[in-house]
Structure 1
Amino acid sequence: MKADLVVLQGSVITMDPSYPKVEGIAVKGEKILALGKNEEISNLIGPETKVLNAYGNTVLPGFIDCHVHFMQTGIDMQKVDLTNCKSLLQLKTIIDEQTDKASPGQWIMGTGYDEFSFAEKRLPTREELDESSPNKPVWLSRVDHHSCVVNSSAEKILNIPRDIEGIEKDPATGNTTGNLKGDANSYARQKINKLFDKKTRYNAAKKAAELMLSKGITTIHALEGGSLFYDDDVDILLDLKEELPIHVSLFYQTTDVKKVLDRGLKRIGGCLLIDGSLGSRTAALMESYTDAPGGKGILYFDDKELEEFVTEAHRKGLQITFHAIGDRGIEQVLKTYEKVLKKYPRPDHRHRIEHFCLTAPSQIERCVKAGIILSVQPAWVNYESTLGGMWASRLGNDRAKRISPLSSMVLSGAVICGGSDSPITPAGPLSGIHGGVNHFQKDESLSRKIMTSFFTTNAAYAGFEEKIKGRLAPGYLADIVILGADLFSVPDSGIADIPVATTIVQGGIKFSLNN
């Protein structure tokens, strides 16, 4: 039997103990046919075989990103990117330019600002946005998506109820500042998302798929719907699923178990919010925020409501996952899992907690005992300036040191999978691997091999797909990424900069850097 495609001259890291490192891969149809030395694989080349040369670079199983807001990633690609904005003056200049280009009544939308990156170290206000755009509506999303800011035109159009939680007001005047968080932020986002029609959303999904492939991602765990996003995206993605060039495992962010079962889905939750974010001071903490005494964040569920939902979803056989960032948020969902699992034991449930940021050793140990998978975003270590930065400002340095203790989690025996949280953090497993290797606390850093497992073997397990994905072995899906360098020899500081040369999904070349 001759192969349809072969990869030669590679430093092939299979993530399979039976084939720890080989030089070549042969693919037949959608699956891996063989692995071995260059000479062995060359024997499988026929007249129709496509031959790829890896030039000695690292070849890995296709990356699995376990935490992607896929539809929102595509939608946000159509907004003004504010991630590199370094001051309120620069922000004003950007809004001025967009206002000049916009037609009457056209929305000006931007995403990704972070006040900790601004020279002024504060949020923009409604009045400042009004100066740039007095007549056209402006809506800007903070990088974490847990808060936003609007100008007066947008505030009027959105018609946000005055009694809703999360509307910031100037303590001196009582006037709204334009900054929204919590329920007010969710309300505004729902209305903003409805401005993008179905055709736009279909195109957004295709653009997002192209982005994922360029990062070596062959499977995504797509966390869709819910309060921060748009419920119709679930059905749009189900319609598109077979057309997309990547694998999609869909998590519906709802508490309506019937909706999930009616769609034939096996997973529920994702960024189903237990709490908020540290940047917006909505993550639920045991102790007050250092820079906001008395403030301990938000819990979006009461205990009874949460237990009833988890019980129903668990007993229906669904895999459940929640967003929990603060230690109080983690405690609430962990206690609920423990209580339900004790009452209704179910082997191999693989329930998860997303983010799992500010934690304690006892919580990690309890997750291991309960079989809870920890779905983390290690690139956050790169994108958040921790000690002396935002986390330290919010928590103080001592608590900030408890953020994402990756090595401690691994040593405890926890199963950890990796994700990006795109579009909040840019998609790219290599950035995640970089973050774990270069952890801001050296004793919490991990090896490149262990970090790679977060996005391959462990990620496949977290999606109940460990028998077909996550490693390179005969009979497994031919999901393969060829890097443009050797992952295991570049300096630690250069991991995130390694390019992806080729991405193969089910035996088909879906991305090539040279094309």
Structure 2
Amino acid sequence: MRTTVFSPAPLAGAVRQAGTTTLLAAGLAAGLAAVAPLAQADTIIDRANGYTLTADGSLLRFTSLAFDDLGKIVAVGSEKDTAARLPKAEHIDAQGKTLLPGLIDAHGHVFGLGEIASGVELFNATSVGGAVRTVAEFARAHPRRAWVIGRGWNQENWKLGRFPTAAELDAQVNDRPVLLHRVDGHAIWVNTKALEMAGVSRDTPDPKGGKIERDAAGRPTGVLVDAAMELVEKVVPLATPAEARSMLDNALAILAKMGLTSVHDAGIKVAQDDLYRDYADHGKLTTRVYAMIGDTGADFDELAKDGPLPSYGNDVYALASVKLYSDGALGSRGAALLAPYSDMPSTKGLLFYPPAEMLAKMNKAMKAGYQVNVHAIGDAGNRQILDAYAQLIPKYNAVGLRHRIEHAQVVTPEDIPRFKTLGVIPSMQPTHATSDQNMAEQRVGSERIKGAYAWRTFLDQGSRIACGSDFPVESPNPFEGLHAAVTRQNNAGQPAGGWYKNQAMTLTEALRCFTLDAAYAAHQENVIGSLEAGKWADFILIDRDLFKVPPEQIGKTQVLQTWMGGKRVYKRQ
């Protein structure tokens, strides 16, 4: 028997803080991806302060975890219990550090996360002038880039009372196109060069499900919302294979550092599926990926030829669901509401498709045997999708597919029980509530807010919430999500006492929605999500005991090691 002593070292190198989104510079990300896993052998982690969940959601304590050379858990319990099961195992001394199941993000955008490391970051911009200066500095530093691409702007933080304009970008960058995604990904801010290259002019009509912001004379001002974004995005050159690999490498390194051993990628295309399978074939997926096919068009037709793929490469990849969009986002007033916006009575937002067209998309996916996961933020968007599920789930006897609504952000109180009745999973992101608190009630008013970000209401009726972050819209750090779920406060501890604290979760509930229930939402609760014999040895070691520290410290947790399938894929340096 050989014993290895676990000894965490202090973190080396700077971590960049982009607003609420903690990201690593590309070089650091590549370095983390290169951490060599330990050689696989029968292994026992001893002297751990271990926590996991039972099937009924109860918290289980343990001190020792044993897994075999295939990466499957053999026993969880005391050192005596595990040693008896694997008498020749290598022992690793955890020195009392807290050990948790690997965390799962049930809604993120993997390649988007990887792309940010090489683009303009505007999450910290506190004014439109500051944002423009950041763009200009980036453009000067990257003179060979044909397009200046970035993300993270939020006009709500700038107190403009309006969207930014192309003219403001033109004053600093007019020699090449600029395209900047809003923080929520549901609007883009572009310069005049980008509008010209895309052929967007006064005569361009608003596409169905989208809006071109215009001045009094009807001229585009430089912001395009939801479906209108495609008018410009379609002329942006596609990432090269090398760029796509770099994005994926960057993202995987960030996710491993955050303690995420599984993520649900909310909308992929054929090229991304090819890359995921290639990485799985070569042992390069250091985070499990449950992918959703983006929409039911040509990519779906190609990827669905052989039907759903529930597992590939020892459960490291799956492609068994479809991602659709019902509406836009609250911040850009693109979320579809049943009544006008409280702070802009001239609009009710945008449904992307009329009911019959949305029903046809959902029917196509469900008929092919896929789980259907639909983005719906406004109460009208949520109702449209619930009405469609009410027709289609009985038609296909499809309760077992565990269909989902992604975000379920603003729901009328009378519609919330329909999630439970229909067996629809609310896939929700705790940090959306704490990020949106500065504008959500202004958008929907004091009555509609009662059905918004309503985690407690969903839990009390017996719904299983799958928690995520929607990275890179929010930070991929799941501990920030756990903190938000428990405190209803942002990272700065605001507001005092928590924002609508009556909708908060307990810490055990929050842990469950980032582990076991997120796994359930991907039909993977029998292989991951908790630490039990027969499941994969996906776990993390962290620097504090979440169940003993004050709640305000939860979001400050640092991951010391991340293990996926019995292999160490990250170690804090």
Give TM-score, length-normalised by structure 1.
Answer: 0.92
Q: Evaluate the alpha carbon distance shift between residue 263 and residue 149 of structure 1 in structure 2; reply closer, same or farther with a 3 A threshold.
A: farther
Match of 2:447 among 387, 393, 398: 398
CA distance in 1, matches of 2:146, 2:59: 57
Match of 1:10 among 48, 51, 54: 48
- Correspondence 1:283 to 2:335: yes
Q: Which amino acid is 2:428 matched to?
A: V
**Residue equivalent to 1:489:** 548
Match of 1:422 among 452, 461, 471: 471
Q: Is the 8 A contact 2:485 2:504 kept in 1?
A: yes
Q: Which amino acid is 1:177 matched to?
A: T
**Secondary structure of the corresponding residue to residue 100 of structure 1:** helix
CA distance in 1, matches of 2:59, 2:453: 31
Match of 2:569 among 491, 510, 513: 510
CA distance in 2, matches of 1:484, 1:190: 45
Q: Which amino acid is 2:547 matched to?
A: F
Q: Is the 8 A contact 1:420 1:426 kept in 2?
A: yes
Moved more, 153-162 or 472-481: 153-162
Match of 1:471 among 522, 530, 551: 530
In the TM superposition, residue 15 of structure 1 has moved relative to its aligned partner by 0.7
Q: Which amino acid is 2:525 matched to?
A: E
CA distance in 2, matches of 1:176, 1:253: 28
Q: Which amino acid is 2:253 matched to?
A: E
What aligned pairs does 1:231-310 form with structure 2 within 5 A after superposition? 232-242=271-281, 243-256=284-297, 257-262=300-305, 264-266=307-309, 267-270=320-323, 272-310=324-362
Q: Which amino acid is 1:279 matched to?
A: G
Q: Which amino acid is 2:130 matched to?
A: Q
Could you list the per-position Cα deviations for residues 168-206 of structure 1 after superposition, in whole angstroms to 9, with x for gaps in the alignment? 1112x33221111122213323433x3421210111111
Q: Which amino acid is 1:269 matched to?
A: V
**Secondary structure of the corresponding residue to residue 432 of structure 1:** helix
CA distance in 1, matches of 2:477, 2:304: 31
Q: Is the 8 A contact 2:101 2:515 kept in 1?
A: yes
Identical-pair percentage: 29
In the TM superposition, residue 407 of structure 1 has moved relative to its aligned partner by 0.6
Q: Evaluate the alpha carbon distance shift between residue 167 and residue 14 of structure 1 in structure 2; reply closer, same or farther with a 3 A threshold.
A: same
**Residue equivalent to 1:207:** 250
What aligned pairs does 1:368-383 form with structure 2 within 5 A after superposition? 368-383=420-435
**Residue equivalent to 1:143:** 183
Match of 1:49 among 87, 90, 98: 90
**Residue equivalent to 2:195:** 155
Q: Is the 8 A contact 1:70 1:224 kept in 2?
A: no
Q: Which amino acid is 1:428 matched to?
A: N
Q: Which amino acid is 2:183 matched to?
A: V
**Secondary structure of the corresponding residue to residue 537 of structure 2:** coil
**Residue equivalent to 2:405:** 353
CA distance in 1, matches of 2:555, 2:50: 19
Q: Is the 8 A contact 2:413 2:451 kept in 1?
A: no
CA distance in 2, matches of 1:231, 1:48: 42
What aligned pairs does 1:69-218 form with structure 2 within 5 A after superposition? 69-103=109-143, 106-160=146-200, 162-165=204-207, 166-171=211-216, 173-192=217-236, 194-218=237-261
In the TM superposition, residue 121 of structure 1 has moved relative to its aligned partner by 5.0
Give TM-score, length-normalised by structure 2.
Answer: 0.83
**Residue equivalent to 2:482:** 433
Could you list the per-position Cα deviations for residues 299-324 of structure 1 after superposition, in whole angstroms to 9, with x for gaps in the alignment? 11221122223223223221111000
In the TM superposition, residue 45 of structure 1 has moved relative to its aligned partner by 7.5
Q: Is the 8 A contact 1:260 1:268 kept in 2?
A: no
In the TM superposition, residue 346 of structure 1 has moved relative to its aligned partner by 3.0
Q: Which amino acid is 1:273 matched to?
A: Y
- Correspondence 1:324 to 2:376: yes
Q: Which amino acid is 1:82 matched to?
A: L
Q: Which amino acid is 1:416 matched to?
A: I
Structure 2 gap ranges (5+): 3-40, 310-319, 489-498
Q: Is the 8 A contact 2:227 2:352 kept in 1?
A: no
In the TM superposition, residue 160 of structure 1 has moved relative to its aligned partner by 3.5
Q: Is the 8 A contact 1:283 1:326 kept in 2?
A: yes
Could you list the per-position Cα deviations for residues 139-175 of structure 1 after superposition, in whole angstroms to 9, with x for gaps in the alignment? 111001110111111222233472243211112x332
Q: Evaluate the alpha carbon distance shift between residue 93 and residue 461 of structure 1 in structure 2; reply closer, same or farther with a 3 A threshold.
A: same
Q: Evaluate the alpha carbon distance shift between residue 304 and residue 19 of structure 1 in structure 2; reply closer, same or farther with a 3 A threshold.
A: closer
What aligned pairs does 1:211-230 form with structure 2 within 5 A after superposition? 211-225=254-268
Could you list the per-position Cα deviations for residues 229-269 of structure 1 after superposition, in whole angstroms to 9, with x for gaps in the alignment? x6633333333333311211111012145333226434332
CA distance in 1, matches of 2:144, 2:336: 41
In the TM superposition, residue 88 of structure 1 has moved relative to its aligned partner by 1.4
Q: Is the 8 A contact 2:276 2:285 kept in 1?
A: no
**Number of aligned residues:** 503
In the TM superposition, residue 392 of structure 1 has moved relative to its aligned partner by 2.1
Q: Which amino acid is 1:283 matched to?
A: A
**Residue equivalent to 1:335:** 387
Q: Is the 8 A contact 1:104 1:136 kept in 2?
A: no
CA distance in 1, matches of 2:165, 2:123: 18
CA distance in 2, matches of 1:497, 1:190: 40
**Secondary structure of the corresponding residue to residue 179 of structure 1:** strand
In the TM superposition, residue 223 of structure 1 has moved relative to its aligned partner by 1.9
Q: Which amino acid is 2:463 matched to?
A: A
In the TM superposition, residue 428 of structure 1 has moved relative to its aligned partner by 1.9
Q: Is the 8 A contact 1:241 1:248 kept in 2?
A: no
Structure 1 gap ranges (5+): none
- Correspondence 1:25 to 2:65: yes
Q: Which amino acid is 1:167 matched to?
A: I
Could you list the per-position Cα deviations for residues 376-411 of structure 1 after superposition, in whole angstroms to 9, with x for gaps in the alignment? 111112322x1xx21122222332343211011000
Could you list the per-position Cα deviations for residues 204-233 of structure 1 after superposition, in whole angstroms to 9, with x for gaps in the alignment? 1111011111111111111233xxxx6633
In the TM superposition, residue 48 of structure 1 has moved relative to its aligned partner by 6.5
CA distance in 2, matches of 1:324, 1:347: 19
**Secondary structure of the corresponding residue to residue 446 of structure 1:** coil
**Secondary structure of the corresponding residue to residue 191 of structure 1:** coil
In the TM superposition, residue 100 of structure 1 has moved relative to its aligned partner by 2.5
**Secondary structure of the corresponding residue to residue 415 of structure 2:** helix
Q: Is the 8 A contact 2:104 2:261 kept in 1?
A: yes
**Secondary structure of the corresponding residue to residue 322 of structure 1:** strand
CA distance in 1, matches of 2:346, 2:261: 45
Q: Evaluate the alpha carbon distance shift between residue 45 and residue 466 of structure 1 in structure 2; reply closer, same or farther with a 3 A threshold.
A: closer
CA distance in 2, matches of 1:295, 1:367: 27
